[in-house]
Amino acid sequence: MAELTYREAVARGIAQELRRDERVVFFGEDVAKAGGVFKATVGLYEEFGPKRVRDTPISEQAILGAAMGAAMTGLRPIAEIMFSDFLAVCFDYVANEFPKARYMTNGQLGCPLVVRTGNGAGSRFGAQHSQSVENWAMMIPGLKVVAPSSPADVIGLLAASVRSDDPVIFFEHKSLYATKGEVPDGEIVDTLGTAKILRHGRDATILALALMVPRALAAAETLARDHGIDCEVIDVRSLVPLDTRTILESVAKTGRLFTVEENPRLCGWGAEIASIVADEAFYDLDGPIVRITTPHIPLPAADNLEDMVLPTPEKIVDRIRRAMGA
């Protein structure tokens, strides 16, 4: 068992798959000799060389076009888009090409690739470099969508993504790169479409993703200690496929559901889950579903303003406490 940072786990996860399968290649802007702009790919170029770890031009369309061509001709590429906001630059590949290749060729061509990208706020990068855009990818049929919150999950879910025969958008939260966690020795392979219960509770269910997971856990501890509200905290981890069974079973037990979402409120992933729960577990609910989100605004770059709009442990505590009448 080793303690790794989230960014070190990214490098270890990529290295694990490069060692395991010679068809895996990795490329993106400044990912080779420079070790990535977030230093999440340090050492890969030195171990695997320029044939399998490559720098690309500053062109998101070129990166994803190369990834698609490589995937359709027998490789299993991992491509990096530096900031998830820039998926908008190459969105035709994300929305129209990757997810539909196998469908439109009647299975003659596959597209087994992973797009890694830095997602989310908290690093003071401003409105065009700080968005949480997992809902952009979640809406597209044919894509798998993953967002890990811990170093161990980074490695295990990345391995599962690389080995998937479907295209995967893999969101790494920029504000988690420096966080640390214990990681088992040896090969780690997780399963896509599985949520993880991180704290068991009886009074309410809190769903969270990526950076919101540690914030939800901190809020749950405060709610239990100071207000006598015992919350179950679930790390959703995978939006597509979505582990509805774990979510619905938890709601059936607690009777209350709160989602903690960094994405803007309108059309966020929590809205889809709220719809599912309302359809399939309405009579298990003891109160309305509550979504705790970022407002529907562009993200500010100023420290105090960015902190003001993001869900924090204090905001989560206050919203749940008021909803529960405590």
For 94-229, strand residue ranges (E) read: 114-119, 144-146, 168-173, 180-183, 196-199, 204-208
| pLDDT for the residue 181 | 97
| Alpha helix ranges (H) inside the chain | 6-20, 44-48, 60-72, 91-92, 101-104, 134-138, 151-163, 212-227, 244-254, 269-280, 303-309, 313-323
Contact 117, 80 (CB under 8 A): yes
93: nearest Cα among 107, 105, 81: 81
**d(Cα 77, Cα 71) in Å, to the nearest integer?**
6
The answer to whether 2-183 and 196-323 have equal CATH topology is yes
pLDDT digits 0-9 by tens, 146-158: 999 999 999 999 9
Residue 173: active-site member: no
Tokens of 299: 């993200």
Specify the pLDDT at position 166: 96
Domain 2-183, CATH 3.40.50.970 — does that match? yes
Residue 69 tokens read as 């061509």
Q: Strand, coil or helix: what is 23?
A: coil
SS (H, E, C) 258-295: EEEEEEECCCCHHHHHHHHHHHHCHHHCCCCCEEEEEC
Per CATH, domain 196-323 is 3.40.50.720:
no
pLDDT in tens, 38-67: 999 999 999 999 999 999 999 999 999 999
Q: What band does 6 get if pLDDT is binned at 50, 70 and 90?
A: very high
Provide the CA 158 distance to its chain's centre, in angstroms. Answer: 11
What's the pLDDT at 157? 98
Above 80 in pLDDT, residue 326?
no
Give every CB contact of residue 31 below 8 A, 6+ residues apart in sequence.
41, 44, 45, 53, 54, 55, 80
Burial of 261 (0-12, 13-18, 19+ CB in 10 A): buried
| CA-to-CA dists, residue 74 to 54, 111, 114, 165, angstroms | 18, 9, 14, 11
pLDDT in tens, 72-128: 999 999 999 999 999 999 999 999 999 999 999 999 999 999 999 999 999 899 999
Tokens read off for 139:
């809406």
**Active-site position among 129, 173, 200, 296:** 129
Query: Over the stretch 167-184, which tens digit does the pLDDT of each residue have?
Result: 999 999 999 999 999 999
- State pLDDT tens for residues 247-286: 999 999 999 999 999 999 999 999 999 999 999 999 999 9
Give residue limits of the domains in the chain: 2-183, 196-323
User: For residues 9 and 89, what is the distance between their CA atoms, to the nearest angstrom?
Assistant: 27
Q: What is the pTM of this model?
A: 0.97
Q: Taking CA 12 as the corner, what is the angle to CA 135 and CA 263, rounded to the nearest 5 degrees? A: 15
User: Any residues with CB less than 8 A from the CB of 230 and at least 6 apart, and which?
Assistant: 201, 202, 203, 204, 223, 224
Mean pLDDT score of the chain, rounded to an integer? 97
Q: Is 108 exposed, middle or buried (0-12, 13-18, 19+ CB in 10 A)?
A: exposed
Q: Which amino acid is at 71?
A: A
Q: What is the pLDDT of residue 1?
A: 86
Q: Give Dmax (Cα) for the chain.
A: 60
Distance CA 111, CA 73 (A): 9
Query: In 50-144, where does DSSP find H-type helix?
Result: 60-72, 91-92, 101-104, 134-138
In angstroms, rounded to a whole number, what is the distance separating the alpha carbons of residues 299 and 310? Answer: 9
